[in-house]
């Protein structure tokens, strides 16, 4: 009985080992596709005045870790949030010419996409202006919100709001500030100020406030900014 018992175990082990060899082909090695690097913008850079409205957008070539072929997605918008696009173009090269209307301000950014659809992050955005016909004074650029972030929630009953603004003619800029709880604020809380900050006080708790800044260059150029909002806790 002892010899029979040992033989049974040995046969079972042989069958078990033999069966494993048939499944070797079931193991497939896969490699994760990696995204290309984010392209760096070359032209137009921030606050550029484009004299020719046939603008040639240029950026540096991205590299792909897997050596996949790469194309580029170019977005042009009139808002720095890119919530709506004026142009949405694809290019296999590191440049793209787009004919734009004259006398308008735009923002642009670009990202890389490989042939397996892995995407880089977008480049930072840059604003630029196309020169108008016979224009001697260009409009200021749209103001850019600096603090607080859009839709941010603040603690307390006062906050110092800040923004940035620029002008291709290097004109001295002044600002009108509108702030209230209406989605299109109508309460002018400051007029013709030169500072790019405004301290709002006596705010109401658990409320949503809306901010609008109008930029004036002193030569008749006026740019109405986007409406921003923040919340009080």
- Residue 177 in any domain: the answer is yes
Q: Are 79 and 119 found together in one domain?
A: yes
Between residues 203 and 51, the one the model is more confident about: 203
Structural domain boundaries, residue 76: 41-130
Q: Are 126 and 191 found together in one domain?
A: no
Q: Are 103 and 148 found together in one domain?
A: no
Q: How confident is the model at residue 138 (pLDDT cuts 50, 70, 90)?
A: confident
Cβ atoms of residues 91 and 71 within 8 Å: yes
pLDDT tens-digit profile of 3-28? 444 444 444 444 444 455 555 556 66
Cα-to-chain-centroid distance, residue 61: 19
Residue 73: name the closest of 56, 99, 92 by CA: 92
Q: Are 227 and 177 found together in one domain?
A: yes
Q: Are 118 and 156 found together in one domain?
A: no
CA neighbours within 13 Å on the CB side: how many for 101? 9
Q: Are 45 and 116 found together in one domain?
A: yes
Kindly list the strands in the beta sheet with 222-232, ordered across the sheet, starting from the edge strand earlier in the chain.
152-154, 222-232, 208-216, 174-180, 188-193
pLDDT tens-digit profile of 144-171? 999 999 999 999 999 999 999 999 889 9
Cα-to-chain-centroid distance, residue 169: 26
| 9 class by beta-carbon count within 10 Å (0-12 exposed, 13-18 middle, 19+ buried) | exposed
- Residue 170 in any domain: the answer is yes
- Residue 171 in any domain: the answer is yes
Instruction: Please report the pLDDT score of residue 135 as a whole number.
Output: 64
- Residue 74 in any domain: the answer is yes
- Residue 17 in any domain: the answer is no
Instruction: Please report the pLDDT score of residue 1 as a whole number.
Output: 45
Q: How confident is the model at residue 80 (pLDDT cuts 50, 70, 90)?
A: confident
Tokens of 186: 């109508």
Q: Are 171 and 227 found together in one domain?
A: yes
**CATH, residue 102:** 2.60.40.10
Tokens of 213: 């800044």
- Residue 9 in any domain: the answer is no
Instruction: Please report the pLDDT score of residue 115 as a whole number.
Output: 92
Q: Are 126 and 188 found together in one domain?
A: no
Cβ atoms of residues 193 and 113 within 8 Å: no
Alpha helices in the chain (DSSP H): 2-20
- Residue 163 in any domain: the answer is yes
The number of domains in the chain is 2
Q: Which of 104, 130, 156 is the last residue of a domain?
A: 130
How far apart, in whole angstroms, are the C-alpha atoms of residue 181 and residue 90?
A: 41
How far apart, in whole angstroms, are the C-alpha atoms of residue 83 and residue 210?
A: 18
Q: Are 169 and 105 found together in one domain?
A: no
Q: Which of 130, 162, 186 is the last residue of a domain?
A: 130
Q: Are 182 and 226 found together in one domain?
A: yes
- Residue 118 in any domain: the answer is yes
pTM: 0.68
Partners of residue 108 on adjacent β-strands: 76, 126
């Amino acid at each position: 009985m002892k010899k029979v018992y040992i033989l049974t175990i040995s046969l079972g082990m042989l069958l078990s080992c033999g069966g494993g060899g048939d499944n070797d082909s079931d193991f497939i090695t896969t490699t994760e596709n990696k995204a290309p690097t984010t392209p760096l913008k070359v032209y137009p850079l921030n606050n550029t005045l484009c004299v020719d409205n046939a603008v040639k957008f240029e950026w540096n070539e991205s590299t792909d870790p897997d050596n996949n072929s790469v194309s580029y997605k170019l977005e042009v918008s009139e808002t720095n949030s890119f919530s709506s696009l004026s142009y949405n173009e694809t290019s296999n090269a590191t440049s793209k010419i787009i004919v734009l209307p004259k006398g308008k301000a735009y923002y642009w950014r670009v990202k890389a996409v490989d042939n397996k659809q892995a995407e880089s992050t977008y480049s930072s955005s840059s604003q630029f202006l196309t020169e108008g016909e016979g224009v001697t004074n260009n409009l200021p650029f749209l103001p850019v919100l600096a603090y607080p972030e859009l839709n941010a929630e603040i603690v307390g009953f006062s906050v110092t709001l800040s923004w940035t603004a620029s002008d291709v003619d290097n004109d001295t800029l002044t600002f009108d500030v509108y702030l209230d709880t209406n989605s299109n604020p109508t309460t002018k809380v400051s007029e013709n100020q030169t500072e790019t900050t405004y301290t709002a006080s006596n705010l109401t708790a658990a409320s949503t406030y809306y901010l609008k800044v109008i930029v004036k260059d002193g030569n008749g150029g006026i740019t109405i900014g986007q409406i921003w909002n923040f919340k009080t806790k």
